[in-house]
Structure 1
Amino acid sequence: MKEPTHSLLYFKFVIGTLLFLSFGTLQAQKLKGKLFIIGGGQRSDAMMTQLVNLSELQKNDYIVVLPMSSEEPDSAYIYFKKQFEKLTTNPIIMLNFDKTTATNKVLNDSLQNAKLIFISGGDQSRFMNVVKNTPIYIAIHRAYENGSTIAGTSAGAAVMCEHMITGNQKLESKYSETFNNIRYDNLETTTGLGLVKNVIIDQHFLKRSRYNRLLSALVEFPTHIGIGVDESTALIVRNKEIEIVGSSEVIVVKKPKGIAKSKKENLVSIKSLEMAIYTEGQKFKIQ
């Protein structure tokens, strides 16, 4: 029998490698988890039941609450646990990491193996100051990649993004729940968890009229999609598809054109942009 040539062997090697990589990619996509991003406010049992169903909790699965955003982490945990004990029998534990315990392997293994991870409200910068560049960050990502559901409310919604809105203004010394106008080089952002890419998420959106803040984000990140999630409302993120749940609305702004920056007080103009309003049950795609 004629021996295969080196070219043929190389060809088979390349094809085999590509098939292996393609299979691995498909498997990773299949195993990837979901996000449940809540705009803050009251969380109805009906909405949180959808979170339970989305998480597909099995008998031996457990839920982890990360309360590091909150000034009162114990209260944040108790509030969540009290509601969820009515909706599921799965164990609910709190992992209140700090700089000392951030590298604890046992705690991070527990976090990585949780089927549902819930990030409380509070201050998103407080949360990321504990998590950034630590094994906690890696554990959350591995849980997500392995098929777990990552949920968060208010500050816990903001941290989902790669570019996280802190709420502060560079041109104002005093914090305000909304911005008085739309200015460039004013919005402060920092590194978030990056579980959802090419998106800027703002929370309590309609309740606190945060249009100026989200539009300011779109000026800084014009290729991103700006998503304003109102209270008692959530985004279900499955790969590149988003579904709305809850009792209010979600505002989506994208594709700003003709951005012009004035030297006067950092004001900005936008000739056109796309805007949409979504309610429960509706879906849209992200990049």
Structure 2
Amino acid sequence: MLRRRDCLRGLVGLLPIPGIVPAASARRRRGHLIAVGGAEDRERDRLILRRFIELSGGPLAHVLVLTAASSDPDGAWRGYETVLAELGAQHVEPIDFRSPEEAHDPRAIERVLSADGIYISGGDQRRLMAALWDTPAARALHQAFHLQGCCIGGTSAGAAALSRQMLAIGEPALRPYRHAVSLDIGLGLIANAIIDQHFNERRRLGRLLSALAIRPDLLGVGIDEDTALVIERGAGVEILGSGAVTLIDGRQMRANAREADPEEPLQMLDLRLHLLPAGTRYRLREPDEDAPAPPPALRQALELLVQPGPLRL
């Protein structure tokens, strides 16, 4: 496993080096997704944002900050503009898609298709999907990821929206209840998971279990603040930051969600829970010393996670 210090040492190479011109397109081989639990570090090591720049192609990568989830898009943009520039990114621009006109604007769509990295800010995932649902902009995100290997990251609401089934509304339930959450359609870049963020800090285990009671076929993913789940499409995962990622596999679960009263805590049996702290790395294909193959039960969960959603055209 990589420790936080080792991660930082490996990312120092992101800074521009005189005489060396990194080519973004040459570095991209597979699309990466980065789901961040919110409140990512922007002042100290900044491991998560450094990794985002690296996977986007380095300092010369063309990066967009998508602010449609935020209630203050200008403020969200200014915060990321500053920190990404400090980390050496030279081509960073905002894009919002808040209006239907922009979400259908061919010039804006071309910007998405030309991007090496796209970072989706926090806010409200319902606001984000209201702006993007069934638009050329959403389809362009899929094309950028699937066809061009664009790195797409999302923090907080942006992370929740990466999956097909999105946790839209949820009560702060300490125990799972049948009607504690409401699911909606997300971007669909991750096919078989439900993502919740601020997981440990806001005690959202009960909320995520409530979602799995509705959809036990999906993998529950809980991401702590200042923590990122990095998914290499079809290949492996890496955990960055200062917290942990919780995976809950309920495919063999027995639950009484259909019979229980709305206010009655659910019984949920035979769940599998995996806790992956920062520094964890596993590869499903071509494992090595730094990223070994996962044990069998975890492998079954990760196979769900690394499988991307279908391309939407």
TM-score with structure 2 length normalisation? Answer: 0.76
The answer for the alignment partner of 1:207 in structure 2 is 201
Structure-1 separation of matches of 2:29 and 2:238: 19
The answer for the alignment partner of 1:6 in structure 2 is none
Any gaps of 5 or more consecutive residues in structure 2? 1-27, 283-301, 305-313
How far is the alpha carbon of 1:186 from its aligned partner? 3.9
The answer for the alignment partner of 1:70 in structure 2 is 70
- The range that moved more, 103-112 or 254-263, is 254-263
SS at match of 2:103: coil
Counterpart contact for 1:63–1:115, Cα < 8 Å: yes
The answer for the alignment partner of 1:269 in structure 2 is 267
Counterpart contact for 2:69–2:122, Cα < 8 Å: yes
1:1-287 alignment to 2 at 5 Å? 31-44=29-42, 45-57=46-58, 59=60, 61-97=61-97, 98-145=99-146, 146-168=148-170, 176=171, 178-240=172-234, 241-255=236-250, 256-261=252-257, 262-265=259-262, 267=264, 268-283=266-281, 285-287=302-304
Structure-2 separation of matches of 1:180 and 1:58: 43
SS at match of 1:189: strand
How far is the alpha carbon of 1:31 from its aligned partner? 4.9
Q: Deviations over 1:223-260 (max 9, x none)?
A: 11101000000010112422111001111111352212
- The number of residues matched between the two structures is 249
- The range that moved more, 71-80 or 183-192, is 183-192
Q: Percent identity?
A: 30
Structure showing greater radius of gyration is: 1
Q: Deviations over 1:34-67 (max 9, x none)?
A: 01111001324232112211222363x3111110
When residues 89 and 228 of structure 1 are mapped into structure 2, their CA distance, relative to the original with a 3 A threshold, is closer
Structure-2 separation of matches of 1:129 and 1:281: 35
Counterpart contact for 2:53–2:89, Cα < 8 Å: no
SS at match of 1:202: strand
Counterpart contact for 1:57–1:115, Cα < 8 Å: no
SS at match of 1:110: helix
RMSD: 1.7
- The range that moved more, 92-101 or 117-126, is 92-101
| AA in 1 matched with 2:267 | S
Structure-1 separation of matches of 2:220 and 2:191: 11
Structure-2 separation of matches of 1:214 and 1:263: 17
The answer for the alignment partner of 2:298 in structure 1 is none
Counterpart contact for 2:168–2:184, Cα < 8 Å: yes
Q: Deviations over 1:128-187 (max 9, x none)?
A: 00000000111101110111100110001001010001124xxxxxxx4x2243122442
Structure-1 separation of matches of 2:270 and 2:37: 26
Structure-2 separation of matches of 1:242 and 1:211: 22
| AA in 2 matched with 1:276 | H
Counterpart contact for 1:203–1:228, Cα < 8 Å: yes
Structure-1 separation of matches of 2:93 and 2:260: 52
TM-score with structure 1 length normalisation? Answer: 0.82
| AA in 1 matched with 2:303 | I
Counterpart contact for 1:185–1:220, Cα < 8 Å: no
Counterpart contact for 1:225–1:286, Cα < 8 Å: no
Q: Deviations over 1:50-109 (max 9, x none)?
A: 2211222363x3111110100100000000011000112421111121112211001111
